[in-house]
Chain A
Amino acid sequence: MIIAFHESTPLVDNLSNPLRADKISPTRANDAIRLPTSAEQKKVQKLLQQWPKSLKLTTPIPPNCRTVVVKQHFDPILNPTSIRSFPFLWKSVDIYRSPLPFREIDSLSTQLRSDNLLFPLHFHAIFVGFGPDPDQLHRSILSEITKLTSENSKCSSNYTLSVTLDLGSRCLRSPTSSPHSSSYRCGSITATDFVQNDDVAVDERLASVFGRKTKEYSVAVVKGGSERAVVGKHRHAWMVVDDGSEVEAAVVKVAELLVKVFINGGRDEGSIRNEFMPVGADGKIVLSFNLLNADPLDWVYDWDFEKIDDALLAPMIEALGPVANISVESQVLYHTPKASFSYWNQKLESYVFSTRDLPFFVNSNEWHLDTSIAAGGRSKILQFAVYVPSAKECPLLLQLPNGVMSKTNGFTSPMWGGVIVWNPQGCLKDSEFEPSAKNIIPMQDLENMFEVFIGQLRQLFGFKSANVYAGASGDWNLLPSERGFTEWELEVLSRQQACFNLHSCATTLGSLSRLVQSLPRMIIMDEIGKQVKFSLEAAKLALSNASSGVYESSAASSSQARSLAEDAFFHPSIMSVSYYSFEHCFAVYSPFFLPVSMHVVLAALRELRRYKQEKAKYLVWKAKANTPS
């Protein structure tokens, strides 16, 4: 605290105004005007000499001046030097706050809130062997689509539809055809392509026809053949209908495909799972695989994880690259019993663990599924555990709520991971089995296990693990990809990721700006300002990419925006909010200002009293003066 006291700078004024003295008080008027004695004059001069040198007397003291009135001037607040020192004082108690772009943050969040993030999608419906009016079909499909789409989702898509009627030799196109769809050469798809029963071959055939580069979703509706509907691994689907079927039924089914599968990824809309992606704030996922030997005294199992990692996991991780940066770890743990009990089922000759008890399966006391050191602070860790039951509870089966045994013998926990129970061969057939020898899980079993794990990961991302989409107007077969996720699924994920990240970035930045504005005495480092700036830039880039339909880069830059926003929000310097409470201020300043204000108040009161007295006197005098005259 700087308290600057300024020397009172006395000013000598009115030296040349001899009458001023008379005006000071009415009582003075009664006194005889008295000339100053020589001694007094000397004294005045001496006093004046003692005053600071800076003080300049504008006029010399007249030798015959009658009264000298010296007025002292004490005004620290209005004093020019003190005014000049105020900025310095202000600066010294100022707190460094890097300017944050509050307005841009607000505009980002309002932009995201008001007009939904629109992803442009191009649909292309090809009808082979159907009636002659593409515009009619176009209209009917669009009306079906608008029936199905709901407006409550955060991110919707801005779709365009083009319809082509393939008449073999010539095309009839709807007027609003995108450049992509016009590149389709009619006659390249014929009903004979779909005769064969091999869906994968058909899929490849269609992929070669549509080209892998195009960003549009195509549906081919072919008349003639056994009825079936398949969604391929790429961005297309096909439907074979009977010769006699109506076009309306096909239109409804196509519209449902476009909305439910290609836009929403075949998931139930509005479920919580869709909102949350199991991706860390820094856009990373660590898949931690654990092999849990419940009791190594019975048997010890090991696995050859490296092989599985290369064979099964690596392609999937590469495929998920645009959505998240995934790394894989594994470990084998021992002495890890489950937390809850199972009961013996005589009919199945195995121990059964019911779904009701599943929350108690994971034994967090004994299962040391560590958080990974290699992972960064805000990475998401998904735990996958293979549970090898001990001899006491082997074989162990999981029972679904409807009483049926689980086929995969595993379960998932959203945002946490999944567990598979694997029963070793030894306990199934009571063969002689040397205990406590080190065994290796057979490769075949391991592969099955990891297929289940990939299914579980798909579930964690919100997809169905089943290969059939059961819509209201009929089922669609979904062709599974060897990479775990098909192309259109990955695009759904990218869109969802971009949407989720942008919203989360906007909310984080919004709360940061609210926090910063609510705490005016909080220090804000330059680094935070930079992070906020870069985050906003990345968010803008993600928005522009999204609107131009580049989902992958949109997802990447949106995750960057989110991680930067989180970095800014969780910056360590923000945590140490400078504690400068009002109470503290009070404790520091009140010892000074209380006594001073007391003086000021007393002086003011005294002045007031005097003024009243003087006024009363003056009135009396005036009355007196008036009455004689």
Chain B
Amino acid sequence: MALLRRPLLLLLLIVTHQFLQSWIVFGSVNEEGQKQEEFYEELLLKPLPDRKLLTHFHFQSSAPPSSSNGRHHHLFPKAISQLVHKFRVKEMELSFTQGRWNYESWGGFDSIPSSNAKPPGVELWAVFDVPQHLIDALWKNLTHTLSGLFCASINFLESSTAYSAPEWSFPPASGNLRYGTLPREAVCTENLTPWLKLLPCRDKAGISMLLDRPSIYRGFYHSQRLHLTSTGSGSEGLDPSIILEQTLTVVLLPNSQRASLAHASEKHIQPSWSLSSIFGKEVSGKCVLAETSNVYLLLDRGLVAELKQLRKENEKSAEKVLTSENNWINPSFELSAKPDRIFIEESSLLSKNPPILYKFEVEKYSESEPFDLGLTWKIPVVWLCQQAPLHASRFLMGSGNERGAIAISLKSTQSSEGFVGANFDDERCELQVDVFQVVPWYVKVYFHSLQVFVDQQPKAVSDIIEKIHVSPSKDKVSPGVMELVLKLPCSVSSAALTIEFDKGFLHIDEYPPDANQGFDIPSAIVSFPNFHASMVFLENDSLNKSPLLSKFQEKSPVMSYTEVLLVPLTTPDFSMPYNVITITCTVFALYFGSLLNALRRRVAEEERFLKDKAAKKTGRLPLLLSKLSAKLRGRQSEPPHSTPGSSSLVNSKLVFKVILVAGLARVEMYADQVEGAGKRSVKERLNVNSFDNSIPRRQITGKRQRQDEKWEHDLYQDVPQVSNRKVDARDLRLKLQKKSLQQVSQSGRGALSGVRDLRDKLSGTMNPQPVNADPPKLKSNAAKPARRSVAVETSEPEPKKAATMTERKKAQQKADASVEGFLQSLGLEKYVITFQVEEVDMTALVHMTDNDLKALGIPMGPRKKIILALESRG
């Protein structure tokens, strides 16, 4: 009998099971056998440790697979459906963010930060369901459409320099992915309004009524996100079903008026808040089109632990109270509304303090009785949010407009439970970290210069980096992409990656209007694939599943974004092209003018003319004047006495060369004189010796170097190296000092001798020496330009004074030089300047006593040496 009954039972079971199955299948389908479009609205509130409040709006619309997707819609936004249909988007996420998610105090491990903390500006990625070669074209059209849809400059992502194709480090890893960011995009209501337009109730009813623009944009962080997935491309000509998820994450600081009113002891109490106090509005019932409309309040692990701890101190039976039905009025805080349900996180039941979630159903409230959730703290609470295993930050190193380095530093957050999910091998515990970094093409990264430091010790790259994928940037074509998989030991306390780069030059029309602000390097993405943020809150009714809670349940890898870096690039003077044109044209015009002058001139005729004139007037003044005018006119001193057959002068090349050399010589001479004079005068004014003088210079040159060193000190803390560098620096200083001394000592002599040489070569109007030395030679030398000889003849009376002057100068110079030589022979050349300042020449030096030298500030040793040497000379 029992045998007979068993199969019957089995049959019954099978039948009922099948029936049940079919019943369940048809349960979600309406009478017409077609699934409907659905909409959900939810709001999550979570107190943050730093007196702030996280509000997370979550709206979800879904369109079932249908043949009319993209054409006929009832709840789902038509525009989005058409977008998916037209661009064959498989998955897409667009986020507008202002402010930076504070990973340290707002946590980095939960589902909320790992999927909703976004880099500042606009981030867009999309996966396409098309062959590789079509993706780029679709991406470009998609950016244009989105920029029109959301009133943002997303169309700047169109250019191939602005987006990249990550291979595997970006979480929805797929070959058909395109990723682009616009770090500088400002986010405002213009972007929020079209985003709200996609909701069936917009901000007219339901939870979205809370979206009060001033309070949202006053927040510390707000990120408006749109994520869409299209799944199950239709087999029978049906379009894929689309799920559109719209979230708005805002971190706000509640007005803590009560805290200021209360006495000082209550200052540590977290600020109390209510929906009406933070948003200035209340929820008057749900959006009628929404399937569910819930508000959640989440107390995270740390807070729950803290509350329990506090309770334990007060009374013994603390365990049950927090989770029991009537706990919404408890000694540590008070809720203004009674929660409809309380969830305790399931997956971490093993650990002591699971997060607690209070659920409030908006459906129960109406316009006459609006929903206004408030939380009042009674006792001060201090807790910490759960952190990601490593805290990532990124900074720039180096200075100047030429090169620099990017450093990504990972610091362990020391969280006790942090490494639970890590691979525990027996002896080697490893922590996997994925890094994804995009650099624009004008930041030219040298991938060979990648260095890894673990616990401040440099490590071989191959030891730490398990996998690397690099696609170098192409100038004006594509950005550089670096994807890394790091395997760090679990005990790591800090790690750093550095990579050097050169700064490129942009074309003049590639600069943005505010070029001096600098250029942004988009955030790097650091993800921990072995860590998954998920929270399981079990719901009893599976029919009415909350999309937010099921989102929490998904295992999403822990991700964090680093800061955006601002790289200053060389900004050109935008009027430079015109300046260059003007300068070159001026030079050309000068050249042309002189050539024209030379060509036009009838030399022989003018010579004759001048000769006639000279024959008439032999006065000195007109002669000088004529010479001056000649000089001004043609830069050729045309002497009145010309030897016949001077047609050779017409060779313009030669003329030009001569002019050029003369000009250069004059400029050089002038510069040298100025330089020499300037140095000496400064020294006189300061009345210090050359040691002190060289120090500021060293500082200037060493500035850049020292900034470079700064981070190295941080990473190494390596004392010997630093001292080495100091020695080097001192060497450099010595060198510089010597150099300056030499320059100073030579400046006077060199310049003067230079002048003499040049004068020798040139017309020689000032220095008659060579002429005086051998006039016969000149006469015999017929091939020499006649003008020169003429000049010699004519200027005979004039330069005598000059000659005497120069001779006098020269004598002084000689004496000085001998002092110098004398000191050099003693190896005391560094005191030369002291003697020069006091105008001590050799004759004076001979008469100098020990006291005199002392007064000059020369130390004992050299003093003795000098005196000894003088004695031996004398």
* Residues in chain A near residue B597, CB distance under 8 A: 599, 603
A296 to chain B, nearest CB (A): 5
Across the interface, name the chain B residue whose C-beta is closest to A72: B599
| Given A74-B599, A331-B73, A595-B586, also A370-B205 (CB < 8 A) | no
Complexed CA–CA distance, A24 and B288 (Å): 109
Identify which of residues 259-310 in chain A touch chain B, using a CB-to-CB cut-off of 8 Å: 296-297, 300, 302, 305-306, 309
A330 at the interface (CB under 8 A from B): yes
* Residues in chain B near residue A5, CB distance under 8 A: 588, 591-592
Q: Is the CB of B585 within 8 A of A329?
A: no
Q: Is the CB of B197 within 8 A of A368?
A: yes
Q: Is the CB of B650 within 8 A of A72?
A: yes
Q: Is the CB of B651 within 8 A of A47?
A: yes
* Residues in chain A near residue B200, CB distance under 8 A: 334
Q: Is the CB of A50 within 8 A of B651?
A: yes
Contact partner of B645 among A1, A37, A328, A596, CB < 8 A? A37
Q: Is the CB of B593 within 8 A of A329?
A: no
A8 at the interface (CB under 8 A from B): yes
Residue picked from B289, B578, B590, most chain A C-beta under 10 Å: B289
Complexed CA–CA distance, A306 and B589 (Å): 79
- Contact pattern, A 29-55, Cβ under 8 Å of B = 1, otherwise 0: 000001011011011101100100000
- Contact pattern, B 66-87, Cβ under 8 Å of A = 1, otherwise 0: 0010111111001100110110
Q: Is the CB of A335 within 8 A of B202?
A: yes
Q: Is the CB of A596 within 8 A of B608?
A: no
A374 at the interface (CB under 8 A from B): yes
Complexed CA–CA distance, A47 and B202 (Å): 93
Across the interface, name the chain A residue whose C-beta is closest to B654: A50
- Contact pattern, B 568-609, Cβ under 8 Å of A = 1, otherwise 0: 000000000010011001101111110111111010010010
Q: Is the CB of B578 within 8 A of A332?
A: no
Count of A-B contacts judged by CB separation below 8 Å: 131
Complexed CA–CA distance, A69 and B608 (Å): 16
* Residues in chain A near residue B72, CB distance under 8 A: 305-306, 309, 329-331
| Given A374-B85, A436-B288, also A332-B647 (CB < 8 A) | no
Complexed CA–CA distance, A497 and B99 (Å): 55
Q: Is the CB of B644 within 8 A of A329?
A: no
* Residues in chain A near residue B201, CB distance under 8 A: 296, 334-335
* Residues in chain A near residue B602, CB distance under 8 A: 24
A3 at the interface (CB under 8 A from B): yes
* Residues in chain B near residue A328, CB distance under 8 A: 71
Q: Is the CB of B68 within 8 A of A599?
A: no
Complexed CA–CA distance, A594 and B145 (Å): 52
Main secondary structure of the interface of A (DSSP, over half): mixed
Residue picked from A3, A5, A46, A592, most chain B C-beta under 10 Å: A592
Main secondary structure of the interface of B (DSSP, over half): helix
Q: Is the CB of A370 within 8 A of B79?
A: yes
Q: Is the CB of B588 within 8 A of A3?
A: yes
Q: Is the CB of B595 within 8 A of A595?
A: no
Q: Is the CB of A591 within 8 A of B586?
A: yes
Residue picked from A70, A332, A594, most chain B C-beta under 10 Å: A332
B783 at the interface (CB under 8 A from A): yes
Q: Is the CB of B596 within 8 A of A599?
A: yes
B339 to chain A, nearest CB (A): 25
* Residues in chain A near residue B202, CB distance under 8 A: 335
| Given A370-B79, A372-B82, also A306-B585 (CB < 8 A) | no
Complexed CA–CA distance, A4 and B649 (Å): 26
A107 at the interface (CB under 8 A from B): no
Contact partner of B83 among A34, A47, A368, A373, CB < 8 A? A373
Contact partner of B592 among A44, A302, A330, A599, CB < 8 A? A599
Contact partner of B582 among A69, A74, A591, A596, CB < 8 A? A591
B204 at the interface (CB under 8 A from A): yes
Q: Is the CB of B83 within 8 A of A70?
A: no
B837 to chain A, nearest CB (A): 47
Q: Is the CB of A296 within 8 A of B73?
A: no
Across the interface, name the chain B residue whose C-beta is closest to A38: B782
* Residues in chain B near residue A47, CB distance under 8 A: 648, 651
Across the interface, name the chain A residue whose C-beta is closest to B612: A27
B652 at the interface (CB under 8 A from A): yes
- Contact pattern, B 505-533, Cβ under 8 Å of A = 1, otherwise 0: 00000000000000000000000000000
Q: Is the CB of B648 within 8 A of A332?
A: no
Q: Is the CB of A297 within 8 A of B651?
A: no
A25 at the interface (CB under 8 A from B): yes
Q: Is the CB of B78 within 8 A of A43?
A: no
* Residues in chain B near residue A331, CB distance under 8 A: 72-74, 78
Contact partner of B589 among A1, A42, A330, A595, CB < 8 A? A595
B70 to chain A, nearest CB (A): 6
Across the interface, name the chain A residue whose C-beta is closest to B74: A332
* Residues in chain A near residue B647, CB distance under 8 A: 44, 68-70
A624 to chain B, nearest CB (A): 17
Identify which of residues 307-342 in chain A touch chain B, using a CB-to-CB cut-off of 8 Å: 309, 327-332, 334-335
A587 at the interface (CB under 8 A from B): yes
* Residues in chain A near residue B205, CB distance under 8 A: 296-297, 335
Q: Is the CB of A599 within 8 A of B74?
A: no
| Given A43-B645, A70-B650, also A603-B595 (CB < 8 A) | no
| Given A329-B72, A592-B589, also A72-B648 (CB < 8 A) | no
Having A50-B651, A331-B78, one finds 17 other A-B pairs with CB under 8 Å, namely A8-B595, A40-B645, A43-B648, A46-B783, A69-B647, A72-B650, A74-B596, A330-B72, A335-B201, A373-B82, A587-B581, A595-B586, A595-B592, A596-B593, A599-B589, A599-B592, A606-B600
- Name 22 A/B residue pairs within 8 A (Cβ), A-sorted: A39-B782, A43-B648, A68-B647, A296-B205, A296-B289, A302-B74, A309-B72, A327-B71, A328-B71, A329-B72, A331-B74, A332-B74, A335-B202, A591-B589, A594-B589, A595-B590, A595-B592, A596-B592, A599-B589, A599-B592, A600-B596, A603-B600
Interface positions of A (Cβ within 8 A of B): 1, 3, 5, 8, 24-25, 27, 34, 36-37, 39-40, 42-44, 46-47, 50, 68-70, 72, 74, 296-297, 300, 302, 305-306, 309, 327-332, 334-335, 368, 370, 372-374, 436, 587-588, 591-592, 594-596, 598-600, 603, 606-607
Q: Which 5 A-B pairs have the closest CB atoms?
A: A595-B589, A591-B585, A592-B585, A599-B593, A40-B645
